[in-house]
Structure 1
Amino acid sequence: MRAVRIDEFGGPEVLVPVQVPDPVAGPGEVLVRVEAAGVNRADVLLRSGSYHRAGRPPLIPGLEAAGTVAAVGAGVTGVVPGQRVAVLGAGLYAELAAVPAGRVAPLPDGIGMAEAAALPVVWLTAWYCLRHLAGLEEGETVVVQAAASGVGSAAVQIAAGLGARVIAVAGSADKASWVASLGVRDVVDASAADPEKEVARLTGGSGAEVVLDTVGGPTFALSLRQAAYAGRVVALANVALQPSTIDTRDFYPKNATIRGFQLTNLMEHGYDPRADLREIAARVASGAYRVPVEAVVPLERAHEAHELLERRGNRGKIVLSVR
């Protein structure tokens, strides 16, 4: 089968198209014929050798995908060959992948493969952080950092669907305008205004009940200051690749709560993502959510997808086409 492999850590140029043996579905596994694979920051970190869970090359990147079931291993129920599915796993920059059945969710009609490939990491992350960790409720205010990113653009829609007030922070005027097109009224252009002062102004000085920090580094300290009394700050990444220096006085006097999120660890400790994935996919298929796909790049040109992501010029999701 065709795949893209990393034989040594480095820049986008180390993503090399290769031919490798076809995998087979073992007991409890599903063999998926991949049609589209999502491109994520974790893939970039893996490629560069900076990912905290990285093994040693050779490695095939790819954590999320959509495709059809090619075969099922012994003991698998709930999916059958030919069924369209969304997949969480590893090594998904490939035509075929064998993944645990617990990480494969059927897809409804009405959702395309490129859209579906964006759900297992990006949308599931935003969904779990807002609904399960933050417990966001109708009428509350949520600040979404890097709102033009994949997770950010998902989060603003999920939050709005819950009846929350969204304050979206974007890194440029162009990105702020694009986030506004998703239906967000309160958008802060961080290149033109101080996000801390703007959130204070928009909340009458009280801060937000929930802050979703998708950036990390110095932004995490900002997120703590933007939180309201008894606010909840959810930290899910450090794409800044910098330490977070904080002042504990920015959160403990407010009785604020800090929650961390890492999807792979969560699943390894017992989380079954299938029910949440099915609900998200159903809402996308019904038109309740829009999955913005910035670019669809052929598998063999995965290096171009990584270059685009690393320039941070994308708005929404980048997807590899594996057909």
Structure 2
Amino acid sequence: MRAVRIEEFGGPEVLVEAEVPDPVAGPGEVLVRVAAAGVNRADALLRAGVYHRVGRPPLIPGAEAAGVVAAVGEGVSDFAVGQRVVALDGVKSPGFYAELAAVPVTQVVALPDGVELTEAATLPIAWLSAWYCVRHLAKVTKEDTVVVKAAASGVGTAAVQIAAETGARVIALAGSAQKAAWAGEFGAHTTLDTSAYPDEAEVEEVLRLTDGRGADVVLDIVGGAAFARSLRQVGHGGRVVALANVALAPSTIDTRDFYPKNVAILGFQLTNRQRHGWDARADLRELAERVAAGAYRVPVETVLPLARARAAHEQLERRGNRGKIVLAVD
């Protein structure tokens, strides 16, 4: 089969198309013929050799995909050949930058009608992370005011919609006027261009927008210095959820910014959550059903052929995209 591999750690240029042996569905596995694979920052970190799951090259990246069942292994009775599915590679390699992937049955969910495969390929990472953090960790309700940072990102646009559906008031923060306006199209009640409010001014503006009380929930997708600001933006008894560090920088915090307010700091990392017992299938299934019902809009900005994985990573790292980047596999 055709696949794109990381031959050595480095920049996008190390992604090389190659012919590799076809995987075989072992016991308890589903062989998925990949139609579309989502491109994520975790893929870029894996390629650079700095991701927490790093193995040794050659490696096939790609943690999420959608396609059809090509074969099932021994003991698998829930899926049939030709069935449309979405799959998450949270535990096992190879990844989904390939024509075929053998995936544990616990990582595969049947797709309902009404969800396109290119959309479905973006659900298991950004969308599932946003869903879990809003629904399970922060337990957002209609009584809450929720701040979503990096609201124009894949996780951000998902979190804005999922939080808004609960009836919560959503304040979307993004790094430019254009991105902030775009985040507003997904149901945010208020948007904030953080480039106009650097550093402490961002904290003061969030406090102003919440009448000095601070937010009930802050979803911090940025990390670095932004996380310290999140602790100052949340109100008494609030929750700060840290689910990424795209800043790739340490966070220096003052404990006095959160313990007097009885603030809960909650962390989330998708693959480690799965390794410690979370079966994501029920949540992924419900999320796909909500998309099929038209409750959420899944923005896909760019679809590139598998052979152009390098270009996809270059576009991702420019951080100019609005919506997800997807690799299409013939």
Look up the match of 2:244: 237
Matching residue of 1:219: 226
> Who is 1:45 aligned against?
45
Do residues 9 (structure 1) and 13 (structure 2) align? no
Structure 2 Cα separation of the partners of residues 232 and 76 of structure 1 = 40
TM-score under structure 1 length normalisation: 0.99
1:102-126 deviation line (CA, Å, top 9, x unaligned): 0000000111011000101111000
Q: Find the partner of 1:267 among 264, 274, 279.
A: 274
Aligned to 1:199: 206
- Which amino acid in the other structure matches residue 305 of structure 2? P
SS at match of 2:161: helix
Cα drift, residue 184 of structure 1: 1.7
User: After TM superposition, what 4+ stretches of structure 1 lie above 6 angstroms from structure 2?
Assistant: none
Note the alpha carbon deviations across 1:215-269, whole angstroms, 9 max, x for none: 1111111111111101111101111110100000111000100111111111111
Partners of 1:169 and 1:195 within 8 A in 2:
no
Matched residue SS, 2:206: helix
User: Equivalents in 2 of 1:80, 1:258: separation in Å?
Assistant: 43
Q: Which residue number in structure 2 is paired with residue 77 of structure 1?
A: 77
Tell me the distance in 2 between the aligned counterparts of 1:273 and 1:280.
11
Shift of 1:185: 2.4
Deviation at 1:183, TM superposition (A): 2.6
Amino acid across the alignment from 2:294: G
The 2-side partners of 1:195 and 1:53 are apart by 34
Alignment of 1:51-70 (within 5 A): 51-70=51-70
| Residue of structure 2 equivalent to 1:35 | 35
CA distance in 2, matches of 1:136, 1:306: 33
Q: Which residue number corresponds to residue 189 of structure 2?
A: 185
Cα shift at 1:177: 1.3
Whole-angstrom distance in 2 between the partners of 1:195 and 1:106: 42
**5+ residue gaps, structure 1:** none
Match of 1:103 in 2: 107
- Tell me which residue corresponds to 1:276: 283
> Which one of the candidate residues 147, 155, 167 is aligned to 1:151?
155
Partners in 1 of 2:44 and 2:112 — Cα distance? 30
Deviation of residue 139 (structure 1)?
Answer: 2.1
The AA in structure 2 aligned to 1:99 is V
Per-residue deviation at 1:180? 1.4
| Structure 1 partner of 2:318 | 311
Please give the TM-score of this superposition, normalised by the length of structure 2.
Answer: 0.96
Q: Give, in angstroms, the shift of residue 188 of structure 1.
A: 0.4
How far is 1:309 from its partner?
0.7
Q: Which stretch of structure 1 is more off in the superposition, 234-243 or 175-184?
A: 175-184
Within 2, Cα distance between the matches of 1:235 and 1:182? 21
Query: Residue 321 of structure 1 corresponds to which residue in structure 2?
Result: 328
**Partner of 2:117 in structure 1?**
113
Return the letter of the residue paired with 1:231.
G
- 1:24 is aligned to 24
The residue type equivalent to 1:157 in the other structure is Q
The CA deviation at 1:315 is 0.9
SS at match of 2:282: helix
Q: CA deviation at 1:186?
A: 0.3
In 2, Cα distance between the equivalents of 1:203 and 1:103? 40
Tell me, in whole angstroms, the C-alpha distance in 1 between the residues paired with 2:202 and 2:130.
21
User: Could you list the per-position Cα deviations for residues 62-89 of structure 1 after superposition, in whole angstroms to 9, with x for gaps in the alignment?
Assistant: 0000000111111113221111111001
Local SS of the residue matching 1:188: strand
| Partner SS, residue 160 of structure 1 | helix
Q: What secondary structure, in the 3-state scheme, does the structure 2 residue paired with 1:191 have?
A: helix
Correspondence for 1:133: 137
By how many angstroms is 1:53 displaced? 1.4
CA contact (8 A) 1:137 1:162 kept: yes
The equivalent residue for 1:250 is 257
1:289 aligned residue: 296
Q: Deviations over 1:137-167 (max 9, x none)?
A: 1120110000000000000000001111100
- Decide whether the 8 Å contact of 1:25 with 1:72 is kept in 2: yes
Identity %: 70
Q: Report how many residues are paired.
A: 323
CA distance in 1, matches of 2:253, 2:9: 32
Q: Tell me, which stretches of 5 or more residues in structure 2 are unaligned?
A: none
Amino acid of the structure 2 residue aligned with 1:50: V
